[in-house]
Amino acid sequence: MLRRKRFWFGLVISASFLAFFLARTDFDEIEHAFAGADFALALAAVPLYFLGFWLRTMRWRYLLRPVNGGITTRRLFPVVLIGLMANNVAPARVGELVRAYLLGERESMSKSTALGTIAVDRAFDGLTLVAILGIAVALSGADAAVKGIGVATALLFAAASAVLVALAFSPRQARGWLLRLIRLLPESLAAAVEDLLDAFLSGLVALRSPRALASAALASVGSWLVEASMYAVVGEAFHLGVGFEVYLIIVAAANLALSIFASPGGVGPFEVATREALVFFNVSGAAASAYALALHALLLVPIIIVGLVLLWLTQLSLHELFGVSKLPAAPVATSQGVE
């Protein structure tokens, strides 16, 4: 029942954002924008997207090293792509559960521990995107008020990063403090949130190693810079004429929007965030709308195709994959260091 509600809620989010997007789109002008685009150049940018996810897979491997040091990036990459495919065709970030399930089955490890490392992996994405947004906005040609927002965003990144590292080094104390807040929630919801908290804290163990933390941070920044490069190449194909800092703002704003509004494949929120960011930097509405639609198609379709092929190779069906049950809670890691 809950899954059905999440499904319909995701569709409502997509429909609402798409309605807003379409209401601000001139279809005659957007046709001209598509007609003038270099689609060969746009398609040539797709490998950059997969390269970005290879780097994100490396980051996940760094986070997994303390619990299973023998997993290679090559073995993890198909799991990441299948999980991303699941996120693209279903709402509520079900792909994260899919990743935990597949990793647990393939590597004979605790699925709840895998889920904990995925939660930390997603936290790295959020922190990196917030940092990119803050720095890019501060360096852009926007007015002083907007630049001030960028500086505030960068400061928020620094504070959130400090909290994450503090949680990694004091998981039991952090759990006790957070449980006091969780117990203010309704009992049924509190139990689910407590399970998620335990999984997240168990995934923080790698961050106690300065080398692992630095490696994960570098891989995270590199992955999003590569993805922004993909956005920039597609932008060149649509002759947008904006600087690289604008594509950094788009990659951060659009993907942060997807983390807040869990619609299937991010359809709707992605288009609106991308279009509005470009219009703010004086790109015409028609060109911005055409770019947003084409870019999102290039992000979704190749991953869905590759993910389905990889899923077929694992001899699993979509029905089996989306039937992943609730994962058990992970034990809270001790404060012992990591080599």
The string of pLDDT tens digits covering residues 113-150 is 788 888 888 888 888 988 888 888 877 766 665 666 66
Residues 88-111: tens digit of each pLDDT? 887 667 888 889 888 888 888 877
Which is more confidently placed, 251 or 315?
A: 251
Residues 289-305: tens digit of each pLDDT? 999 999 999 999 999 99
Which is more confidently placed, 68 or 333?
A: 68
CA distance 52 to 223: 4
| pLDDT above 50 (res 325) | no
| pLDDT above 60 (res 21) | yes
Q: What is the pLDDT of residue 334?
A: 38
| pLDDT above 70 (res 339) | no
By percentage, how much of the chain surpasses pLDDT 70?
85
Q: What is the pLDDT of residue 109?
A: 82
Which is more confidently placed, 135 or 11?
A: 135
Residues 213-240: tens digit of each pLDDT? 889 899 999 999 999 999 999 999 999 9
Residues 169-225: tens digit of each pLDDT? 777 777 777 788 787 788 777 777 777 777 777 777 777 788 888 898 999 999 999
Q: What is the pLDDT of residue 93?
A: 73
Q: Which of 2-16, 56-70, 85-99, 237-251 has the lowest mean pLDDT?
A: 2-16
Look over the chain and give the mean of its residue pLDDT values, rounded to a whole number: 81
Q: What is the pLDDT of residue 297?
A: 95
| pLDDT above 50 (res 1) | no
